[in-house]
Structure 1
Amino acid sequence: MEKDTKETLHVIVGMIEELGKKLDGVENKVDRLEVKVDGLEAKVDRIEGEMQEVKIEQQKMNQKLDVLSSVYGRHDVAIQLLEKKKII
């Protein structure tokens, strides 16, 4: 009986050690995933910053286009008036 108990304990200890090894492997994988997630979060933050810069540039360009459109519109109206008066 004592021999069976010792063998059973050895089997249980072996199973626990094997489970510990598997758990260590899982922890290593989780650590690697956390590093990857941190890298992805950094990329997302950088992209969000770049998107903000693009939005600012887009607003500047829209303002310039509005000015150009307004100037063109005024010139177009002036040309039409001159044509009506047969000056050109």
Structure 2
Amino acid sequence: GFKGKPNEGHTVEIGYGFIEKYWNKGYATEAVRELINWAFQTGEVETIIAETLLENNSSIRVLEKLHMKRIGTTETMINWKIEK
């Protein structure tokens, strides 16, 4: 889901998690794709950001499939964004 309402810059953060029995079935990709589509259709969101742990390869693949761009890294996280 979304971590709060869009800010003044029309940016919102997205986050997601699934229990292990639902991993690697495409559910995260499908869910996040629809959240992105919905957010952009509202007219209130211009940019969506996300973050993943450096070692969370499954989550990294989800965001790459959805054409989110890496915008930075910290010691433990990768930061992502997609613009309308």
Please say whether Structure 1 and Structure 2 have the same fold, judged by a TM-score greater than 0.5.
no
Bigger radius of gyration, 1 or 2? 1
Where relative contact order (Cα < 8 A, 6+ residues apart) is larger, the structure is 2
Name the TM-score, length of structure 1 as normaliser. 0.24
Larger helix fraction of residues: 1
Larger strand fraction of residues: 2
